[in-house]
Structure formats: C-alpha cells, structure tokens
Amino acid sequence: MAAIELTDIHVRLQRKQVLSGIDLTIETGDFITFLGPSGCGKTTLLRTIAGLQRADAGTIAIGGREVANGATAFHLEPSKRGLSLVFQSYALWPHMTVSDNVAFGLQVRQLGKAEIKRSVRAALDDMRIAELADRYPGELSGGQQQRVAIARAIVTRPDILLLDEPLSNLDAKLRVEMRAELKRLHQELNTTIVYVTHDQQEALSLSTRVAVFFGGRIVQTDKPRELYRHPRTLEVADFLGSAGLRLNRLDGVIAREGGQAWLRTPVAAIPLAQSGLEDRQEAIVTIKPEDVRLHGRPGEGRVAARVEAAFPSGAETLVQLRAGEASLTARVMGDAEYEPGDVLYADLRRSNLNFYDKRTGMRLAHVAPIPNPMEEPHHEDRLSHSR
C-alpha cells in the first residue's frame, strides 16, 4: 500500500494557479524530495499533503485512507493525518528546555508521564542530543536546534515525516553533517520522508526518488542517479547542472556523410551510432564539466582549447576554456595548476552526453553517440600539465 497517493491535485492561491494536475505515488519507506526553484509549488504541495492548505481539485490518500477530496470539499484536519512536519524555522519554545520542547506534542495528547519520558529519551537518542535535554534553545547552535526540531517531529513515531527546507538556515559544514543524520534516521526508523529543497546536491544525495517541479507541475520523477544521468528536458538538465556548476551546452546540426550520422558542433563533430534524426536537424548536446577531459598533448578526437581561468579548490580544479567559438568548463580532480593562455587538448566523454531537441527541449532518448576509443584517460596524461 502506498504511503501517499496524490491524484490530479490543483491549488489556487490569490487567483494564481500554484499547482496543476499533480499525480504522484509515494511508496512506504520512500525518501522522496520535491526539488525545484523558488516559487515552483513544492512547499505548497507539502502543505497540501499536511492539510495546512486545501486542494481546490483532486484527491489525497494517506495509507489508503482518503484525507482530502476537492470535488466533495472533504478535508481531514492536519492533526488526524498521522504526519509530522518540520518547518524551515525551528519553531522552538524559547522558555522551554529541549526535553519540554520535544515532549510538548505528547503532553497535548495527555499521555502518561512515564510514557512521555521514555518517548522523549528515545527521540533525543535517535538525534544524538541526549546530553542537551536540560538546555534552552538560546543555548544551542543552529545545528543543535535543528536536531531538536526533528526530535520533536519523530517523538510520536509518525509513519510519514514532512521536512520543509530544514537545512537552509545552516552553514555549509552543518548541512553536510545533517544530511548524514537524516539519511541515518531514514534507514533506522524506516519512516516515509517527504523533503522539500531547492538544493540539487541535497536532493541527489539524500533521496530514494526526486520529483522535479517547474511552474506548479512535476516534470520528472526518478531515482537520483537516473535523474542526474538522463534529465528528461533541457530545463531539468540546466537546473540540475553538475554539483552546483552549469552544464556545458553546444548547439549542433545533424549531418550525414557516407552513411555515418554526425552532430556537428562548434567544438567537435560527434559520431552517432543511431539518431533517427533528419539531415540538418538542430539539436543541443549537454556535457557535464567532469566529462570534459583535459590532456597535455594532441590525440585522436581531441580539440585544442585555451585556458581562460582556473579555480583550484584543493580536491578539484575548475578550468574555464575557449575552444574555437565555444566556452567550456572542465572539472579536474586534484590541485592542477593552469595559467590563462595555456593550450590544452580536450575531449568529451561521449557515453555520458545527452541530446535534446532544440525546438522542444525534450531529450532525444534514441540518439546515441559512438563511444570514444578510450573512455578513461591515462592517469599520467591527465596530470601531465600539472606542475
């Protein structure tokens, strides 16, 4: 039985259509992330699932039980949906200790003192903050406050946990730590988690599935690896990027010579094993920075590229290049030193390329390049230009 079933959900706010035709099944035990830019409707859908926002049309079922129906105006109140919600703000009572904050929901339910004490202790242990039980929120760091907020949400052992951008107020180091905690929590409690974020790395690293939103619609739902490797549209590909970087995009035109189809771009002609495209049809190829491989000497399939700027960061170096009329960004592992004006030789990891129809922006799933003769560069060749 699915944990949550959404069917044709529509929501209007202040005469604006915020959600349109949302169909989504969230399976029991899923960690699904709603990912998209600000204002795309992902938080509105989370609030609609929680019961904080009414759906104008469509139905919502939780654990097989209908909790909302736009046609009949049925709307089960939030407290009866068996969910817990963690907001972006921690929303902790400043005059109450950590234990009392976590216990608050249980006290409202008028549970016995012994049961409340056991449940609070278990939730604090789950979040590894038992030693903070007697402190007040003002005495805690941002990361500790977020752990308290999550402990308060899981103290009732909900079947479903809703998280609305819970890490956005934390610094980069704490965000990484809390990602690990959330992943551990999901594995240990086997709770269904619905998570909202605009951070691509969070979505890809935490989730079992990711639903990408644009303009109040879900445009792709997939496992993180499939989503990263094969974005369904150019819009999704551009938004996902590559670990925070923009994708390289090259315009191309299909050409056929001697029975061989090619996509000719300003950087290189890419041989296609199959295309199904017409001669002179326009397409766009996307290349992740890690799939632009740099060499210190010429070779088959390599094109000359001049370094415009290099940005070493210890573990990796980002290199901006000019190859003919095109700009490329390459991600090189390690602390490689390049200077503006250096001439390198680049090739593309063809097996990781994606092709899109220039007119519609849809991925051309039937277009497949012929792989490079050698997909992996020799280690010494890759580093030959390092000093």
- pLDDT, position 379: 38
- pLDDT, position 23: 98
CA atoms of 278 and 365, how far apart (whole Å): 15
pLDDT digits (tens, 9 = 90+) for 328-353: 999 999 888 899 999 999 988 888 99
CA atoms of 188 and 177, how far apart (whole Å): 17
Q: How many helices (H) and strands (E) does the chain have?
A: 9, 22
pLDDT over 70 (residue 41) = yes
- pLDDT, position 26: 98
Q: Point out the least confidently predicted range of 132-146, 233-247, 352-366.
A: 233-247
Q: What end-to-end distance do the CA atoms of the chain give, in Å? A: 59
Q: Give the neighbor-by-neighbor strand order of the sheet with 83-86.
A: 83-86, 160-164, 192-197, 31-35, 209-214, 217-222
- pLDDT, position 260: 86
Angle (deg, nearest 10), helices 113-126 and 142-154? 130
Domain with CATH 3.40.50.300 in the chain: 2-231
CA atoms of 339 and 271, how far apart (whole Å): 32
Q: Give the mean model confidence (pLDDT) for residues 296-313.
A: 92
- pLDDT, position 382: 42
Q: Point out the least confidently predicted range of 65-74, 320-329, 375-384.
A: 375-384
Q: Return the CATH number of the domain spanning residue range 248-382.
A: 2.40.50.140
Burial of 102 (0-12, 13-18, 19+ CB in 10 A): buried
Burial of 352 (0-12, 13-18, 19+ CB in 10 A): middle
- pLDDT, position 243: 62
Q: Categorize the per-residue pLDDT at 218 as very low, low, confident or very high, splitting at 50, 70 and 90.
A: very high
- pLDDT, position 307: 97
CA atoms of 87 and 95, how far apart (whole Å): 19
Task: Residue 26: name the closest of 75, 58, 61, 52 by CA.
Answer: 61
pLDDT over 80 (residue 138) = yes
- pLDDT, position 370: 86
CA atoms of 141 and 152, how far apart (whole Å): 17
Within 10 Å of residue 67's Cβ, how many Cβ atoms? Answer: 22
Token pair of 133 as six digits: 């039980």
- pLDDT, position 373: 65
Q: Give the mean model confidence (pLDDT) for residues 77-89.
A: 90
Phi-psi region of 358 (alpha: psi -120 to 50; beta: other; left: phi over 0): alpha
Higher pLDDT, 377 or 237: 237
pLDDT digits (tens, 9 = 90+) for 44-70: 999 999 999 999 999 999 999 999 999
- pLDDT, position 275: 64
- pLDDT, position 168: 86
Q: Categorize the per-residue pLDDT at 313 as very low, low, confident or very high, splitting at 50, 70 and 90.
A: confident
Q: For residue 61, what are the β-bridge partners? A: 5, 66
Average pLDDT, the chain: 90
Q: Give the mean model confidence (pLDDT) for residues 199-210.
A: 95
pLDDT over 70 (residue 380) = no
Please tell me the pTM assigned to this model: 0.88
Q: Categorize the per-residue pLDDT at 375 as very low, low, confident or very high, splitting at 50, 70 and 90.
A: low
pLDDT > 90: what percent of the chain? Answer: 68
Is the CB of residue 358 less than 8 Å from the CB of residue 283? yes
CA atoms of 190 and 102, how far apart (whole Å): 20
- pLDDT, position 232: 96
The pair phi, psi for residue 158, each rounded to 5°, is -70, 150
- pLDDT, position 315: 87
CA atoms of 216 and 121, how far apart (whole Å): 40
Q: Categorize the per-residue pLDDT at 78 as very low, low, confident or very high, splitting at 50, 70 and 90.
A: very high
CA atoms of 93 and 355, how far apart (whole Å): 52
The pair phi, psi for residue 273, each rounded to 5°, is -70, -35
CA atoms within 13 A on the CB side of 257: 8
The helix/strand/coil state of 46 is: helix
CA 50 to chain centre: 22
The pair phi, psi for residue 152, each rounded to 5°, is -65, -35
Q: Categorize the per-residue pLDDT at 142 as very low, low, confident or very high, splitting at 50, 70 and 90.
A: confident
CATH class for the region spanning 2-231: alpha beta
- pLDDT, position 385: 44
Hey, what amino acid is at 80? K
Token pair of 85 as six digits: 């919600």
- pLDDT, position 384: 42
The helix/strand/coil state of 138 is: helix
Burial of 15 (0-12, 13-18, 19+ CB in 10 A): exposed
pLDDT over 70 (residue 383) = no
Domain with CATH 2.40.50.140 in the chain: 248-382
CA atoms of 151 and 121, how far apart (whole Å): 10
- pLDDT, position 143: 87
